[in-house]
């Protein structure tokens, strides 16, 4: 294997290849994580949409089905965040990393680190990367604006070098990746690997029902995969569908009805007590959120569930990276990872062949952040 594919990420996570399967609510379950782990990548279980019992079962299923280590994704605003943290710590012999957006405080991060669990937040802006490292992040995943789900506005080609220049920890590139070219390109930028969501959603092991996957296969225009704030007030990238268009064009009353129905259903799913719901509501109001936005918070998990679990793509929303527009297959995860690695090796070899002579560092076989390697790049970005 090309030595450039052995990076600080593979060393820290203990996986064969620098490829991460990111967390996707309702999608990244034990089966997807096991397939990723067995194929040499590193997978995250998406706990942000799971009850504590479901997460306990999913962790047990991964533990039973493979010997590799894996990750768990959660958010501090989910009602069972504290229980998720304890569950991760109880399984620290196998859970190698946690990922999160709005993350835990420095004390909780220290608890993870003391237990040998790496903290690997996903950020969509430079200032968030700097803050995350100050709080103790071991690895940063940078998600460019083209990425799926909640996303920022800065494209990967701009955000990645900005963050690489600003932090010392390994950086993983996300947002728009699906191929070996992308992996080779990310390594050339200086990233320690790539992380992909949408590409893993569109695999044979994905739990997403066929009717919904067809919508992902059918979309061919990146412009039809837009970031919209209509679901929960925060920019989220989704495939255009009639439901989203109605939500966007509907009046306040329509939005309020959808938000109320979602909040009620989410309360039942999470087992949240009415008291907890009221506390969350009051807390959010104090932080300055508007009441409607607070209620809209439950929209995302509930409306995504309709498409991703119930197979009713026209009655819910379809979070996706723009990359879905260039994907037209549902390969097995092992086939996908194998083809990404072999294409990356070809690209790296082609770049190597352009070099007049090996640098002193590469002749000594030294490895470090790949941004110190003098790879000639034509037409970068
Ligand atoms: C269907 C879907 C659900 C997602 N759910 C989550 C989630 O629960 N937690 C999270 O941190 N990120 C979530 N994301 C973002 C992904 O983890 C990842 O960062 C993003 O998909 C990367 O961009 P890409 O799709 O271009 O590969 C989701 C993305 C998608 C497409």
Q: What is the DSSP letter of 326?
A: G
Q: How far is the CA of 71 from the centre of ligand 1 (A)?
A: 14
23 lines ligand 1 (CB under 6 A): yes
Domain membership of residue 380 (yes or no) is: no
What's the total number of domains in the chain? 2
201 with 72, same domain: the answer is yes
Domain membership of residue 336 (yes or no) is: yes
37 with 180, same domain: the answer is yes
148 lines ligand 1 (CB under 6 A): yes
Given a contact cutoff of 8 angstroms between Cβ atoms, the answer to whether 47 and 55 are in contact is yes
Q: Average pLDDT of each block of 10 consecutive residues along the chain (381 residues)?
A: 96 98 97 98 97 97 97 93 97 98 90 98 97 96 96 96 98 98 98 98 98 98 95 92 90 74 74 70 60 71 90 95 98 98 97 72 46 41 31
Task: Determine the Cα–Cα distance for residues 324 and 201; give it in Å rounded to an integer.
Answer: 10
Query: Tell me, what's the pLDDT at 358?
Result: 57
319 lines ligand 1 (CB under 6 A): yes
Last residue of a domain, one of 319, 354, 374: 319
Structural domain range at position 270: 220-319
Retrieve residue 201's tokens: 């959603």
Q: How many residues does the chain have?
A: 381
| CA nearest neighbour of 47 among 24, 77, 68 | 24
Tell me the CB-side half-sphere exposure of residue 67, using CA atoms within 13 A: 0
307 lines ligand 1 (CB under 6 A): no
31 with 56, same domain: the answer is yes
Retrieve residue 307's tokens: 């498409």
Query: Tell me, what's the pLDDT at 259?
Result: 75
87 with 70, same domain: the answer is yes
Domain membership of residue 358 (yes or no) is: no
Query: Tell me, what's the pLDDT at 277?
Result: 66
Pairing of strands 95-99, 118-119: parallel
Task: Determine the Cα–Cα distance for residues 373 and 96; give it in Å rounded to an integer.
Answer: 28
175 with 65, same domain: the answer is yes
- pTM recorded for the entire structure: 0.89
Q: How far is the CA of 80 from the centre of ligand 1 (A)?
A: 20
* Nearest-CA residue for atom 6 of ligand 1: 24
Query: Tell me, what's the pLDDT at 232?
Result: 85
Query: Tell me, what's the pLDDT at 368?
Result: 44
Given a contact cutoff of 8 angstroms between Cβ atoms, the answer to whether 235 and 151 are in contact is yes
200 with 237, same domain: the answer is no
168 with 198, same domain: the answer is yes
């Amino acid at each position: 294997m090309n030595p450039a594919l052995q990076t600080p990420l593979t060393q820290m996570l203990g996986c064969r290849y620098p490829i991460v399967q990111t967390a996707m609510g309702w999608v990244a379950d034990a089966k997807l994580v096991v397939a990723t782990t067995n194929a040499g990548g590193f997978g995250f279980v998406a706990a942000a949409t799971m009850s504590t019992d479901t997460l306990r079962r999913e962790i047990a299923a991964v533990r039973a089905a493979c010997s590799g280590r894996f990750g768990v994704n959660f958010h501090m605003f989910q009602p069972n965040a504290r229980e998720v943290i304890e569950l991760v710590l109880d399984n620290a012999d196998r859970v190698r990393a946690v990922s999160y957006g709005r993350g835990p405080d420095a004390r909780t991060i220290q608890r993870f680190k003391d237990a040998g669990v790496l903290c690997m937040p996903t950020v969509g802006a430079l200032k968030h990367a700097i803050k995350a490292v100050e709080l103790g992040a071991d690895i940063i995943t940078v998600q460019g604006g083209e990425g799926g789900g909640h996303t920022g506005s800065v494209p990967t080609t701009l955000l990645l070098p900005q963050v690489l220049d600003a932090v010392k920890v390994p950086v993983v590139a996300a947002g728009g990746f699906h191929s070996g070219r992308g992996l080779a390109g990310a390594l050339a930028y200086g990233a320690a690997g790539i992380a992909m969501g949408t590409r893993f959603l569109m695999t044979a092991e994905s739990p997403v029902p066929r009717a919904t996957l067809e919508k992902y296969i059918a979309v061919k225009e990146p412009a039809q995969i837009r970031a919209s704030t209509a679901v929960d007030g925060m920019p989220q990238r989704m495939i255009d569908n009639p439901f989203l268009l109605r939500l966007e064009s509907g009046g306040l009353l329509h939005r309020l009805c959808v938000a109320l129905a979602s909040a009620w259903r989410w309360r039942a799913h999470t087992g949240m007590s009415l008291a907890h719901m009221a506390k969350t509501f009051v807390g959010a109001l104090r932080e300055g959120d508007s009441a409607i936005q607070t209620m809209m918070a439950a929209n995302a998990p509930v409306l995504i569930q309709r498409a991703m679990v119930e197979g009713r793509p026209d009655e819910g929303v379809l979070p996706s990276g723009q990359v879905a527009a260039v994907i037209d297959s549902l390969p097995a995860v092992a086939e996908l990872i194998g083809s990404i690695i072999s294409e990356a090796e070809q690209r790296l070899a082609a770049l190597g062949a352009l070099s007049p002579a090996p640098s002193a560092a590469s002749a000594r076989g030294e490895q470090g952040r790949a941004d110190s390697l003098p790879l000639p790049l034509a037409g970068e970005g």
